[in-house]
Structure 1
Amino acid sequence: MTLEEYFYYRKMVAEFDPEAMKKVETKSPPADATDFALRVSYVILNSGMRWTVAKDIWNRMKPSLIETGEVGDTFGHPGKKKSINQVMSNRSEYFEGFRMAWANGSDVVIEFCETLPYIGGITKFHLSKNLGVDVAKPDVWLERVAAKTGESVPGLCGRLSEGSGDSVSTVDYVVWKACQQGWWNRGD
């Protein structure tokens, strides 16, 4: 993806969903243990699921998490349900671990994220982004775009970040959204 293509997609994404674009541009670390646990819970829920489906489930689940600290009957996936309940129950301890990791830099936060329930080798990047780390998630969409130019996902997003002045996380979101909406043409 060229810088010019990136600028084109960024404009499209900003017009398509200005609120989401604003959120990704201003992502900051969680303010407290509950904020942290909710962000982790959302990523666990979203893992391996279309974001449109996850969004609907999240809108049903979030009030229960805030009110009771548990998923309740809002969602049925046993592994994710157990993991989300575990994060909510232990949010103070997990948040303290996050704060210690944050004090030691982005790489430590990324590795810390992988120690959380249901967070794996790719999902740790998604969670890290949602916790305020300026990093790209090497998901299938970004891997395809990067492969087209012979780059890694960090290389692609770093290059476009440097050229555009946007954060790596913003570049990640724009490229992902362009693919997800079918705007990016793989050129096959």
Structure 2
Amino acid sequence: MPAFIVPNPSSRVPVGMYKELRAWMLDNDQDAQRMADWSASTLSAPDTAEKMASEIIWVILCAGRSAQAARTIERKVWDAINTGRPVVEAFGYRAKAAAIERAWHEREKDFAALQKAVMGGSVEALVELCGSIPFIGDDTQFQLAKNFGADLCKPDIWLSRLAGFPDRPRRAVRYRFPACMDLCRPLAESTGERIATVESMLWLGCNKGVLQVDASAGPVTFAEKVITARSIFSAQADTSL
């Protein structure tokens, strides 16, 4: 497949739109302040094998579903882990359930590898390590590396649309990731924020439906409206998934 050149991703979300979105979200969305604080000051390499495994499990659950749905499944998965039951009883996707159990049972081995990568100081090595973990994919390797402290973005479907990539044909991550970084970098430079913070606020705006771009990657719009989506931090009770 020939290279797909996105014309100037940095022009897709103007600085003024981003600042307006961020301010409005902080005033109107229950998750925005926590997301901003988390991405600005608390993202760092986990200091225990258990914290590292919980991040891996979270990212495995996030792939292919909303954060809200993943949060509900996460509660059930941890109930299974904490009571010694097979994870597949809580999460019927057998291959992912097995990957979650591996992440928990082999956490000390993974933690040693993570410490080595972090001490080396190479973001590329950290991303590569994340990508080597079962069921951490092309996009989620960046999400996990970000959660481990790297100042970068996850080129998921929303951020890719914002950067100018339509859903179809799905372009390889080697094209989407640098374009998404080009989208976020000038916003970070203009506001003094981390790229990870910019990405998190853009992602949250899309999740809550106020930052909009269609599947063809048309113009990006910011539309103030009542937010009906539930919190990304709380599980929904009595939900069967």
- The two structures have a TM-score, normalised by structure 1, of 0.91
In the alignment, does 2:31 pair up with 1:4? no
Q: What is the aligned-residue RMSD (CA, Å)?
A: 1.9
SS in 1 for 2:89: coil
Q: Quick one: distance in 2 between partners of 1:37 and 1:147?
A: 34
Conservation of the 8 A alpha-carbon contact between 1:13 and 1:21: no
Q: Give the aligned residue type for 1:39.
A: E
User: Is 1:24 aligned to 2:32, yes or no?
Assistant: no
Deviations 1:45-66 (A, max 9, x none): 1111111111111122224335
Rg larger for: 2
Q: Provide the aligned length of Structure 1 versus Structure 2.
A: 186
The 3 A distance-change label for structure 1 pair 24 and 65 is: farther
Alpha-carbon shift at residue 164 of structure 1 (Å): 0.9
**Residue 25 of structure 2 corresponds to which residue in structure 1?**
13
> Is 1:175 matched up with 2:202?
yes
Q: Which runs of 5+ in 2 are unaligned?
A: 1-12, 166-177, 214-218, 221-241
Match of 2:187 in 1: 160
Higher relative contact order, structure no. (Cα contacts within 8 Å, ≥ 6 residues apart): 2
Runs of 4+ in 1 over 4 A off after TM superposition: none
| 2:59 pairs with one of 43, 47, 55 | 43
Q: Identity rate of aligned residues, in percent?
A: 27
Q: Considering fraction of residues, name the structure with more helix.
A: 1
TM-score by length of 2: 0.72
Distance 1:159 1:67, change over 3 A: farther
Structure 1 unaligned regions, length at least 5: none
CA distance in structure 2 between the aligned counterparts of 1:38 and 1:30, rounded to whole angstroms: 10
Q: How does 1:48-127 map to 2 (within 5 A)?
A: 48-66=64-82, 68=84, 71=87, 73-104=89-120, 105-127=122-144
- Assess, with a 3 A threshold, how the Cα gap between structure 1 residues 40 and 98 changes in structure 2: closer, same or farther: same
Change (3 A) 1:124 1:71: same
